[in-house]
Amino acid sequence: MSDVEHDVYCTEIGSRADELRAAVRSAEAGPAATPVPSCPGWSLTQLARHVGGTHRWAARIVRGRATGPVAHDMVDDVYSPGPESAADLDAWLAEGAAELTGALREAGPDAPVWTVAPSGVAGFWARRMAHETTLHAADAAFVTGAPFAVREELARDALDEWMGFGALPRVLEAAGPDAPPLTGPGRTLHLHATDAPHAEWLVDLTGVPITWSHIHAKASVAVRAPLTDLVLLLYGRRTPADPSVEVFGDGDLLSLWLERSGFWLRK
């Protein structure tokens, strides 16, 4: 469970959407001609359409109190005709973020709805959309050179959320029978934030199910970095070779875990 308040997530969604809107407005060549290197093949236009579409999709789930999967064409089909100019994209992003945060605030965190992972309440979508929007605000910041950081409370929570997804049985099931094994004797991974007290995560890969905890312990591979960089590392916006990231021990295990635990990003 998350300790972050529902309204904090809602506010973060709006604030991060505003950062993406600012990037769209400031793109000198226009959003359609501005590539986003951290999202290969996408321009700022595609990034904005993805975020705006995702907000509308999640809003539909929450507002309709969906009891089963909802078609996510708005999330995926970023090349279909849609808003093109910076002004139109700006307004469309603002509208989508307002639609989502309005639906979430009206529902409250405990309203029962369908979710893509175990939870079944609207609070799942507040949390998921806050971190989703934050990630894509980072993508936009990399393009424009704007400063980017994740507040400690939300960075810790983003890492907790990732660990929860990474402990799902699908991390193992999605790999296929011929994939190298992720679990095995002595396989543990430790993440340690260098800029926050007691911000540590131990992932136990010694057996099934995969588990994680907030403890300090010696592991087969240890990673040290500032909180924001740990979040960006898990989401593939940093690499283990990045100067802000220190890796000690079994780097191959780290790379394998990063690839496997990120399976849900590719769904």
- Say whether 40 sits in a helix, a strand or coil: coil
* pTM listed for this prediction: 0.95
Distance CA 115, CA 121 (A): 7
Distance CA 256, CA 232 (A): 17
**Confidence label for 1 from pLDDT (cuts 50, 70 and 90):** low
In the predicted structure, residue 262 carries a pLDDT above the cut 80: yes
In the predicted structure, residue 79 carries a pLDDT above the cut 90: no
pLDDT tens readout for residues 92-148: 999 999 999 999 999 999 999 999 988 999 999 999 999 999 999 999 999 999 999
Q: How far apart are the first and last CA of the chain?
A: 23
Look at 50 and 74; give whichever has higher pLDDT: 50
In the predicted structure, residue 266 carries a pLDDT above the cut 70: no
Please say whether the beta carbons of 189 and 255 come within 8 A: no
- Say whether 106 sits in a helix, a strand or coil: helix
Residue 2: C-alpha distances to residues 118, 134, 155, 157, 185 (Å): 13, 17, 12, 7, 30
pLDDT tens readout for residues 209-228: 999 999 999 999 999 999 99
Planar angle of CA 41, 96, 6, nearest 5 degrees: 110
What domains appear along the chain, each with residue ranges and CATH number?
6-148 (1.20.120.450), 156-266 (3.30.1050.10)
Residue 81: C-alpha distances to residues 22, 49, 57, 95, 127 (Å): 22, 10, 17, 18, 29
Token readout for 10 is 């809602």
- Say whether 161 sits in a helix, a strand or coil: helix
- Say whether 67 sits in a helix, a strand or coil: coil
